[in-house]
Amino acid sequence: MAGLKTDIFKATVLAALTAILLGAATYLLSPQIETTPVATIDAYTQKGGYGPGIVSNFYHYNENVSIFVNVKDATNKPLADAIVTFQIHGPPGSNITLPPHTAKTNSSGVAIVTITAPYLIAQPKTVQGIWTAVATTEISGTQIVDALAFEVKAPPSPFVDVYTDRGGAGPNNSSRPYSPDDLVNLYAKVSNGTSPSKGSLVTFAAYGPTNETIPFLRTPLSNASGIATASFRIANRSESIGTWQVIATVRVNDQVLIDALTFECNR
């Protein structure tokens, strides 16, 4: 019977947290679940979720999710050496249930486990959705439980953004003008979607007003900030007057990314 009650509780928590995260107006947990004066437990992540049954902020798959549990006694003092069991479930319909994780609270009454979404799942889309974590500990023969939910989303798409020392940041934007014999400093910012992409090979190409390719081609690697740099000097001749175009190309995660900018060359 105890196992059946536990399963009902987990199912109730899963449904409740799902409803909350999806914006349901009101969802009440079963009134049969009573609080206990023996101790309190609060599960949360490094992105929030403080309080009973509260939702954490979202994660992208392949991010590390640290789940914390704070255990306190009846006088609100931290309980050290309490054994906490974490049961973590993937989105409804995913059939993902991670092996139970167990951790002991430290002197501050906090136990920690860390998982990675999607936890070695081969198909990332299967882990997108609402995850739940149920934390349980037993104090003086009484089980204390809290749960939280967090959403796993696909990370933003990788991108490259080319610009100059005179502006042009943003997709396909324009820089401020140059003049013949000016040095044009180019920058390409490369991101894998969630962070700068270091060591990416960026190709810069420049085209003059007559649509002829300038004898200029650089393939530098992006630095720790995801930025690759190159420069060229505009020839001091009449053919340089007009609209210029610069194109940056890079491959990130097997995707070819391109961005372009234009600038005017004036006397």
Residues 6+ away with beta carbon under 8 Å from 46? 65, 66, 68
Confidence category of residue 212, pLDDT binned at 50, 70, 90: low
- Average pLDDT on 115-130 reads 65
Distance CA 208, CA 192 (A): 30
At 90 the pLDDT is: 87
pLDDT digits (tens, 9 = 90+) for 30-88: 344 444 458 999 999 999 999 887 889 998 877 889 999 999 999 999 999 999 999 99
At 33 the pLDDT is: 46
Q: Are 96 and 226 within one domain?
A: no
**pLDDT beyond 50 at 144:** yes
**pLDDT beyond 90 at 10:** no
At 262 the pLDDT is: 96
Q: Are 182 and 148 within one domain?
A: no
Instruction: Show which of 106, 122, 153 is a domain's final residue.
Output: 153
Burial class from Cβ neighbours inside 10 Å (0-12, 13-18, 19+) for residue 150 reads buried
Print the domain residue range for 237: 159-265
Q: Is the peptide bond before 158 cis (omega within 30 degrees of 0)?
A: no
CATH of the domain at 164: 2.60.40.1930
Single pTM value for the model: 0.56
Q: Are 163 and 129 within one domain?
A: no
Q: How many domains does the chain have?
A: 2
- Average pLDDT on 148-168 reads 91
